[in-house]
Amino acid sequence: MTSSIFFRTSFVDSLLKIYNFNPNAKYYGFYLMTNPVFLLRDPQLIKNILVKNFESFPNRFDLSNLNDPLVKNNLFTLWGEKWQNVRNLLSPSFTPNKMKMMFTLISECAKDFTKFITTLPADKGSINMKDAFSKYTNDVIATCAFGIKINSMKDPTNEFYINSKKITSNFKGIRVLKFLLIRTFPKLSKIFNFKIVDDYLSDYFKGILRTTIATRDAEHITRPDMLQLMMDIRSKGGHKQLDIDDMIAQAFIFFLGGFETSSTAMCFAAHEIAANPKIQLKLQQEIDKVLEESHGEVSYEIINQLEYLDAVISETLRLYPPFPILERICEKAYELPSALPDEKSVIVKKDMSVWIPVFAIQRDEKYLDNPEKFDPERFLDNKMQSSLWYMPFGCGPRMCIANRFAMLEIKVLLFHLLARCELKPSAKTTSPIKFRKDLMIMPENGFWLNIQSRKD
């Protein structure tokens, strides 16, 4: 892993090397700096730890000593009872009915995006898809989590987008080393006052939310977005459940997840669609059919009935999961079965880590044929979704709470884009993808495609 930390290899290449070290082992261990880590390979063992024996591994890495409320107080990083309370409060906000409420807001962003793309000159050439999709996800998060309407394709210098990019870009070099120090030596973050988000950026996003909340309270404004859902549960049961700082922290993690991971997933999906014309044609035929049947009035229900679109996104998330690993910290000593037939069982002690190598498991030929091939047909007729080894959003009580939102955000964008455009490789497109030498799942030369308006 040291080679990927110092950018000599990509993280996923290092992960695959460790994962494939002994294909017959259920798990094995290594040291990440000074911390022992158990890397799990057996899907049933993984399910036991994430679901059945969740009480022994309930938390992710510890950020409680971080002097950075936006980062340490959000649902992703919270521990114990505080996490459980916030999870219980927020879960009703991500039901299908609540997603239906936000569908219109997301659709408006997708329409703005596609309208701008179709106005570009036909000879535009290569388009930086990461830059383009980041503007779309930025606008979705701005409207759904922060309650403000912007159009970053038309106005790429708007303050919200500029500050968003400052937070999410360039997670490398000193930032990566700082993060690893925080993770490995959590108490150091308190001693040296480490922060992941600069104060001026934190203050900017806090200011937006405080102003929006105050305005809505004073003028009795309601809006079908995440912020409103959190405002509605502030005093659920007659006493305060979420204060304004809690709400800001949750909005911030939705921003981080929705901005970066969703835009990257869209990039990989678009890359594979462009590289596979038959898949693109089948997708467009499915989209054209529902547009004709609905007379162009697409609803939340219609979007979620598109089986092939769902399969394309699911296959994208299999090959390129948002997080290459899941990590859990041992809370209560746990006995692992023997890794190999002739070996003894092993005790995972409190505060030790286990890693679930999602990227590697979802590409293991033990579980599917030709795993490196992009083949959405795997996911038709619900053939894969219930498998033990498919977990792009995690598994168990700490599964990503916003997985429905992420899927909807991606589906709506691809629907509107493919309804009006053709995606084609450009001179800058690299195929097959070679991963960049850092901790993120990103191609070495970025995402570049040629987008043209459809002729029919």
Specify the pLDDT at position 315.
97
β-bridge partners, 366:
none
Closest by Cα among 252, 158, 151, 255 to 210: 252
Q: How far apart are CA 423 and CA 282, in angstroms?
A: 13
Sign, Cα dihedral of 379, 380, 384, 386: positive
Q: How far apart are CA 130 and CA 442, in angstroms?
A: 10
Q: How far apart are CA 393 and CA 407, in angstroms?
A: 10
Specify the pLDDT at position 385.
62
Could you tell me if 356 and 46 are in contact, meaning their C-beta atoms sit under 8 angstroms apart?
yes
SS (H, E, C) 343-365: CCCEEECCCCEEEECHHHHCCCC
Specify the pLDDT at position 216.
93
pLDDT digit of tens for each residue in the chain (456 aa)?
555 454 567 889 999 999 999 999 999 999 887 889 999 999 999 999 999 999 999 999 877 767 777 777 888 888 888 899 888 888 888 899 999 999 999 999 999 999 999 988 766 778 999 999 999 999 999 999 888 999 999 999 999 999 998 887 755 555 666 667 777 777 776 777 777 788 898 899 999 999 999 999 999 999 988 888 888 887 665 555 778 888 888 888 888 777 889 999 999 999 999 999 999 999 999 999 999 999 998 999 999 999 999 999 999 999 999 999 999 999 999 999 999 998 999 999 999 999 999 999 999 999 999 999 999 999 998 767 668 899 999 999 999 999 999 999 999 999 999 999 999 999 999 888 989 887 778 898 899 999 999 886
Joined together, the tokens standing for residue 312 give: 């394309």
Q: Establish whether 400 is an annotated binding residue.
A: yes
Q: How far apart are CA 174 and CA 186, in angstroms?
A: 17
Amino acid identity for residue 157 in this structure: T
Q: How far apart are CA 278 and CA 274, in angstroms?
A: 9
Closest by Cα among 129, 149, 128 to 139: 149
Q: How far apart are CA 21 and CA 28, in angstroms?
A: 9
User: How many domains does the structure of the chain reveal?
Assistant: 1
| Residue 266 phi, psi (nearest 5) | -65, -40
Alpha carbon dihedral 73, 79, 81, 83, in 10-degree steps, equals 50
Could you tell me if 345 and 355 are in contact, meaning their C-beta atoms sit under 8 angstroms apart?
no
Specify the pLDDT at position 255.
82
CA 399, chain centre distance (Å): 11
3-class DSSP state of 388: coil
Specify the pLDDT at position 338.
96
Alpha helices for 52-158 (secondary structure H): 69-72, 80-90, 96-118, 129-145
Name the region of 17 (left: φ>0; alpha: ψ -120 to 50; beta: rest): alpha
Q: Which residue has the tokens 């547009």?
A: 291
Q: How far apart are CA 44 and CA 40, in angstroms?
A: 10
Amino acid identity for residue 112 in this structure: D
Amino acid identity for residue 116 in this structure: F
3-class DSSP state of 223: coil
Alpha carbon dihedral 443, 393, 319, 388, in 10-degree steps, equals 150
Joined together, the tokens standing for residue 98 give: 């609540």
List the domain range (segments joined by +) for residue 35.
Answer: 1-453
pTM, entire model:
0.93
Could you tell me if 40 and 46 are in contact, meaning their C-beta atoms sit under 8 angstroms apart?
yes
Q: How far apart are CA 121 and CA 265, in angstroms?
A: 26
The contacts of residue 296 (CB under 8 Å, 6+ apart) are none
Specify the pLDDT at position 9.
79
Specify the pLDDT at position 399.
94
Q: What is the domain-level CATH number for residue 275?
A: 1.10.630.10
Q: How far apart are CA 163 and CA 390, in angstroms?
A: 34
